[in-house]
């Protein structure tokens, strides 16, 4: 798996594929929070961060309140900027290795139960068609990278905090938000030869309009009224995700139909996890 290492520079949408006789490559770009998972990935780790001594009880409560606002009504640009400033100040001085270790050890406990089955099925479908899957998230890379690995993503884009001597300084090297997501997508297209006109993007947030507009096939996931209106005006599709699943759930034996339906979903999820492990140990992704 690769990560966009350098801050992307603005550029025009490339007409990749047909140019210079190169084979046409297609990518599917997925937002993470409330698109693949039914929550905020950063807020999901507030409890283990508290247990690990990184944040106080007050920080946990503030995180829970911000998460409530986010889940109920999303976040506009001003709210997002306030949250970004708060988080930047909060993580100043944190040991990066400790953060990565906490995320690694608690990933399955806090992320597994909230993955949308519909998103998993889409990821599998895109891989089956030979498409690259790219996770594009405003959350920090230490959170996004292991989630992307479990999902079998080929690449990811995430916010990068400045690190000096193994600790966060509180400054941000690259903020994967708004127009920056679209810029990062265009840079990845230049690097990997993606035909953006043939590519796909999925997000729940109006702030990801530039990302949805950067490809030929944009999809608004569980859109609110504003995003639904923009999707209609822009010719984007709309999708409804309603089935968060636990990746390691053991099925109980209720009605046969429910068991069969659940088994299909879990089989898809289990296959995806197997494929992710195979891609990491064998080929297809590069770190």
Q: What is the secondary structure of the chain as a DSSP string?
A: -EE--SPP---PPP-TTTGGGPPPB-EEEEE-BTTTBSS-HHHHTHHHHHHTTSS-HHHHHHHHHHHHHHHHH---HHHHHHHHHHHHHHHTT-BHHHHHHHHHHHHHHHTGGGEEHHHHHHHHHHHHTT-EEEEEEEEEHHHHHHHHHHHT-SEEEEEEEEEETTEEEEEEEE---THHHHHHHHHHHHHHTB-GGG-EEEES-GGGHHHHHTSSEEEEES--HHHHHHHHHHT-EEE----EE-TTPPPP---HHHHHHHHHHHHHHHHHHHHHHHHHHSSS---
- Of 6, 33, 76, 208, which one is the catalytic site residue? 33
Longest CA–CA span in the chain (Å) reads 58
Please determine, for residue 80, whether its predicted confidence score (pLDDT) is greater than 80: no
Which of the two residues, 63 and 15, has the higher pLDDT score?
63
Q: Output 233 or 107, whichever has higher pLDDT.
A: 233
Active site residue 128: no
pLDDT value of position 18: 43
Q: Left if phi > 0, otherwise alpha if psi is -120 to 50, otherwise beta: which for 222? A: left
Residue 283 confidence (pLDDT) above 70: no
Domains of the chain, CATH where assigned: 2-281 (3.40.50.1000)
pLDDT of residue 217: 98
pLDDT tier at 10, thresholds 50, 70, 90: very low
User: Which of 48 and 208 is assigned the larger pLDDT?
Assistant: 208
**Which residues are registered as beta bridge partners of 30?**
135, 202
33 is catalytic: yes
Torsion angle of the four alpha carbons 122, 125, 129, 130, in this order, in degrees rounded to the nearest 10: 70
Query: Are the C-beta atoms of 218 and 233 separated by less than 8 Å?
Result: no
The residue annotated as part of the active site, out of 6, 31, 132, 197, is 31
Most confident range, picked from 64-78, 82-96, 167-181: 167-181
What average pLDDT does the chain have? 77
**164-197 burial by CB neighbour count: b if 16+ within 10 A, else e?**
eeebbebebebbbbbebbbbbbbbbbeeebbbbb
> Over the stretch 231-244, which tens digit does the pLDDT of each residue have?
999 999 999 999 88
pTM for this structure?
0.75
Task: Return d(Cα 21, Cα 106) in angstroms, integer.
Answer: 46
Question: Between residues 258 and 127, which one has the greater pLDDT?
Answer: 127
Q: Answer for the pair 250, 270: CB distance below 8 angstroms, yes or no.
A: no
Length of the chain: 287
Confidence of residue 3 (pLDDT cuts 50, 70, 90): low
202: which strand partners?
A: 30, 219
Q: What's the pLDDT tens digit per position in 58-76?
A: 666 555 545 444 444 455 5
Distance (Å, whole) CA 267 – CA 258: 14
Taking each helix axis from N to C terminus, what angle separates 57-73 and 77-91, rounded to the nearest 10 degrees?
A: 160
């Amino acid at each position: 798996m690769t990560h966009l290492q350098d801050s992307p520079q603005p550029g025009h949408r490339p007409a990749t594929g047909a140019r210079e006789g190169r084979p046409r490559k297609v990518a599917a770009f997925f937002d993470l929070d409330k698109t693949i998972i039914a929550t905020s990935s950063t807020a999901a780790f507030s409890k283990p961060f508290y247990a690990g001594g990184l944040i106080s009880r007050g920080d946990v409560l503030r995180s829970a309140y911000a998460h409530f606002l986010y889940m109920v009504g999303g976040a506009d640009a001003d709210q997002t900027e306030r949250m970004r400033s708060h988080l930047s100040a909060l993580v100043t001085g944190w040991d990066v290795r400790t953060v990565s270790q906490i995320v690694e050890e608690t990933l399955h406990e806090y992320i597994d139960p909230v993955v949308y089955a519909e998103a998993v099925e889409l990821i599998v479908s895109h891989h089956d068609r030979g498409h690259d899957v790219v996770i594009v998230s405003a959350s920090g890379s230490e959170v996004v990278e292991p989630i992307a690995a479990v999902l079998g993503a080929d690449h990811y884009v995430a916010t990068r905090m400045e690190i000096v001597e193994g600790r966060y300084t509180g400054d941000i090297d690259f903020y994967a938000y708004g127009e920056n997501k679209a810029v990062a997508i265009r840079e990845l297209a230049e690097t990997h030869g993606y035909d953006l006109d043939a590519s796909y993007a999925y997000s729940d947030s109006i702030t990801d309009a530039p990302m949805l507009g950067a490809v030929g096939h944009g999809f608004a996931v569980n859109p609110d009224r504003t995003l639904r209106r923009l999707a209609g005006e822009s010719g984007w599709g709309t999708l409804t995700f309603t089935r968060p699943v636990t990746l390691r759930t053991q099925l109980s034996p209720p009605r046969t139909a429910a068991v069969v339906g659940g088994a299909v979903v879990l089989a898809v999820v289990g296959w995806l996890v197997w494929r992710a492990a195979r891609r990491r140990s064998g080929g297809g992704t590069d770190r």
